[in-house]
Amino acid sequence: MMDDEILAEAPSTSAKCCKSKQAVSPSAVSGPPVVQSPPAQTPHLDPATDPTAYVKQVDGGFELHLIVDNLTCPGCVPKIEDALAVVPGIGTARVNLSLGRLKVTWSDPAFDPRVVGETLTRIGYRTIPYNAAVLDRLTDDQDRRLLRALAVAGFAAANIMLLSVSVWSGNVTDMGPATRTLFHWISALIALPTVVYSGQPFYRSAWSALRAGRLNMDVPISLAVLLATSASVMESVLSGRYAYFDAAVGLLFFLLIGRYLDHRMRARATSVGSNLLALKAVAATVITPDGRRTALPADQLRLGMIVAVVPGDRIPADGTVARGRSDVDASLITGESTPVAVAPGDTVYAGTLCLSGPLEITVDRADRNTLLAQIVALMENAGQAKARYTRLADRMARIYAPTVHVLAASTFVGWLIFDSGGWHPALMNAIAVLIITCPCALGLAVPMVQAVATGRLLRSGVLVKSGDALERLSEIDTVVLDKTGTLTLGRPELVNRDDLAAEDMALASCIAQGTRHPLAQALVRAVPPAGPAPDMREEPGLGLAASIDGAEVRLGNRAWCGVAIDPESDAVDSELWLKRPNAAPVQFRFRDRLRPDAAAAVNAFRARGLAVEMLSGDRIPVVTAMAKELGITEFTAAARPQHKVARLQTLAARGRKVLMIGDGLNDAPALASAYVSISPALASDISQIAADLIFRGERLGSVVEAIDTARRARARIFENFGMSLVYNVLAVPIAVAGWVTPLIAALAMSGSSIAVTLNALRLARRGPERAP
């Protein structure tokens, strides 16, 4: 059972204010979710009745993550979700069997989150708000309980088996009834306390379910163990020839082996997020205003504090380098193994490793608001969503409980009527049916694969934000690429600075602050703004319009600034134009570099049977030159956002399943129109991009790996479904026919779950395996 006392972490929250008015796109406004910090006095909070302190405010409403104590089988998933679906005010309720977590969302601020815990308590589940430290402690406690129960059951099974071998031998030789009965009672003395103690993991879950008027997987397991034990006691009292203490204890032993291994492998499959959070610094060295240095827990850092980091230490918070230079291992964030050189003014992130020189860093974000925490949250949220295959498995698991009990009862009655052996074989065969029909393998078929696949991609620098993204990614047949920031690095450089007037550069830079477009950001980098951004509006695909001294000043493309398009021009530089009233337009020219593996990635897409196309808003000469360099024959230039959407809709109408790879900040309409979408991202943009997946770093090879992983994940899911189907088609009739003992049934049931999990873990291997 879970501990009642939860030590809640109090995250630091902060907000930055901008005195100037600035219009930006909605996607650029959305930042990390605001976490409602727990109150200071929470050690004795009863989370089952008051989880309010753990509610997070997100875009469109509120969400609450809970740990479900006795979430033991696939049948629990639909029961919890169905119970919460009818609660007024709840928007969605999603259970992740692999993580043992429940995510609940709602939009009404007046909704009382305590209703969630009360509802689940009524149907036999105990919940506490999600807390990583508490979850780790509970996982360790459960492991220890299972190991203790397993050790007791194993010791008892070995001793009872020795006695049983003597009885079996005596039944065919000259053992007398008194000796046989004595051996039965010795076995009972060993078996009865063992059944009571080692069966507790199953009994508690089964009792909670029955008390709430429902059935779960542990009900038939408990019933089978207790029936075998009761029948054995009765035989011992009546001095009968057969007792089944060995079956009852052996059944528990093998079931506990299966449950422990399943529990450990689930933890391994879902450990990536926890391992990432384990990389964060535990303590920080804070430099006080008077110059003193003092140690402080990392979760107590606040905005504006100065922290000192020495080589070999992990950076404790997101922040800006105030003093010092160093190389930083940022592979945790970028997916790139090459260290990054940082200097004053550069941004660094929690969990990255300082390598060569001491740094002093001004804290911008700490604790659960850091980028590292956001990455882990994104991965876990993806695991909460329901893919199509998961929904199918859940529907199949719904019919398990009534079916297995009817089937077991029918087996008992059938053998009792049509077999002359009496109630002994009928009971043993019914017990075998109760055990062997458990749908654990079916319930784990999808979530295990999803957990392993998302963990592998996270280590490769790819974040999965949508729960069914991998499923859709595995089905694509066309790749559509944006140019700027996708095929290129998205870091263009101003190349005609010497030809520009200082006044023009200052004005353009001031306006460029109002957008995240790569060319505008390049201008800001080249010419830092001298003042705040003016009032302005942004026209997607065109540019910005700012109001300065009552006059409109535009910064954007040729059409936006009234510059005629020169059909004879073959210039390949990207450009921005500045247009002021009564003044000639001013051209700013930029040059960007292709990603180092852009050509290799395009070839890899084709090698996998994918059609490749480029959609860009840049000028025809620029796009044509790049398409020729990359060998892309299908391309469109000067495409505005609506044109990109129209093209994607045309492809969809032809039955194509399109992967759109584009800038998540500027291509949001196109990304939303695609079958599945991936965006490149700088670390600071991760929480703002609405694509299904995000890849970090400079290489497009991670997108190729994402496609391969998605295809392999799909194959593993089908393999798991196939194994589950074959298992049930073969095992159930054999059990009904009486060819399987309860012990063999326990081995088969546990083995099927372990086989499915091991098959999913194959995805974690890094080898030359090609996607099917």
Predicted confidence (pLDDT) per residue in 279-316, tens digit? 667 788 999 988 889 888 887 888 999 999 988 888 99
Higher pLDDT among residues 147 and 467, named by residue: 147
The answer to whether residue 402 scores a pLDDT higher than 60 is yes
Residue 581 falls within a domain, yes or no? no
- Residues 476-501: tens digit of each pLDDT: 999 999 887 788 887 788 989 889 99
pLDDT at position 134: 66
pLDDT at position 160: 87
Residue 89 falls within a domain, yes or no? yes
Residue 383 falls within a domain, yes or no? no
Helix (H, G, I), strand (E, B) or coil at 445: coil
Query: Residue type at 146?
Result: L
Question: Is the Cα torsion angle 512, 516, 519, 525 positive or negative in sign?
Answer: positive
pLDDT at position 400: 64
- Average of pLDDT values for 345-351? 87
Cα 734 from Cα 216, distance rounded (Å):
23
Task: Choose one of 139, 165, 189: the last residue of a domain.
Answer: 139
Max mean pLDDT range (149-153, 347-351, 484-488, 718-722)? 149-153
The answer to whether residue 88 scores a pLDDT higher than 80 is yes
The answer to whether residue 256 scores a pLDDT higher than 70 is yes
pLDDT at position 279: 60
The answer to whether residue 602 scores a pLDDT higher than 90 is yes
pLDDT at position 217: 72
- Average of pLDDT values for 129-157? 81
Closest CA to 268 of 700, 763, 737: 763
Task: Choose one of 657, 686, 711: the last residue of a domain.
Answer: 711
Residue 635 falls within a domain, yes or no? yes
Annotate 355-376 with b (16+ C-beta within 10 A) or e (fewer).
eebebbbebbbbbbbbbbbbbb
Q: Long-range contacts made by residues 110-114, C-beta under 8 angstroms, separation at least 24?
A: 111/62, 112/52, 113/51, 113/52, 113/55, 113/62, 113/64, 114/49, 114/50, 114/51, 114/52
pLDDT at position 770: 47
Task: Choose one of 80, 109, 139: the last residue of a domain.
Answer: 139
Residue 178 falls within a domain, yes or no? no
- Counted residue by residue, the chain has a size of 772
The answer to whether residue 613 scores a pLDDT higher than 70 is yes
Let me know: does 507 contact 514? Beta carbons within 8 Å.
no
Judge if pTM exceeds 0.95: no
Active site residue 50: no
pLDDT at position 338: 60
**Percentage of residues of the chain with pLDDT beyond 90:** 17
Give the CATH number of the domain where residue 642 resides: 3.40.50.1000
pLDDT at position 277: 55
Kindly give the residue spans of alpha helices, DSSP state H, lying in 385-494: 388-398, 400-418, 423-436, 440-444, 447-459, 469-473
Least confident of 62-66, 301-305, 307-311, 651-655: 62-66
Residue 475 pLDDT class (50, 70, 90 cuts): very high
Structural domains counted in the chain? 2
The answer to whether residue 695 scores a pLDDT higher than 90 is no
Residue 652 pLDDT class (50, 70, 90 cuts): very high
Give the CATH number of the domain where residue 59 resides: 3.30.70.100
Distance from the Cα of residue 458 to its chain's centroid: 9
Residue 566 falls within a domain, yes or no? no
Cα 193 from Cα 472, distance rounded (Å):
52
Per-chain mean pLDDT for the chain? 78
Cα 286 from Cα 306, distance rounded (Å):
6
| Domain ranges, residue 468 | 459-489+595-711
pLDDT at position 43: 36
Residue 376 falls within a domain, yes or no? no
Catalytic residue among 394, 482, 685, 692, which?
482
Residue 466 falls within a domain, yes or no? yes
- Residues 30-40: tens digit of each pLDDT: 333 333 333 33
pLDDT at position 676: 92
